[in-house]
Amino acid sequence: MMKNNTLVIKIGDIDDDFDDVLKAWEGGQSATPLNQLSFESMPGFLSYLTPKRWELLTALRKHGHLSIRKLAGLLKRDYKNTHSDVKALIEVGLIEKDADGLVFVPWDNVETHLQLAA
Domain CATH code at residue 87:
1.10.10.10
Range of the domain at 75: 6-114
Beta strands in 12-116 (DSSP E): 36-39, 96-97, 103-104, 109-114
CB contact at 8 A, 103 and 90? yes
pLDDT of res. 52: 95
Residue 1 falls within a domain, yes or no?
Answer: no
Kindly state the average pLDDT of the residues 69-93: 95
Full-model pTM:
0.72
Amino acid occupying residue 33: P
Residue-wise pLDDT for 42-79, tens only, equals 888 888 889 999 999 999 999 999 999 999 999 999 99
| Distance of alpha carbon 117 from alpha carbon 47, whole angstroms | 19
Task: Kindly indicate the confidence band of residue 2, based on its pLDDT and cuts at 50, 70 and 90.
Answer: very low
Percent of the chain, pLDDT > 90? 45
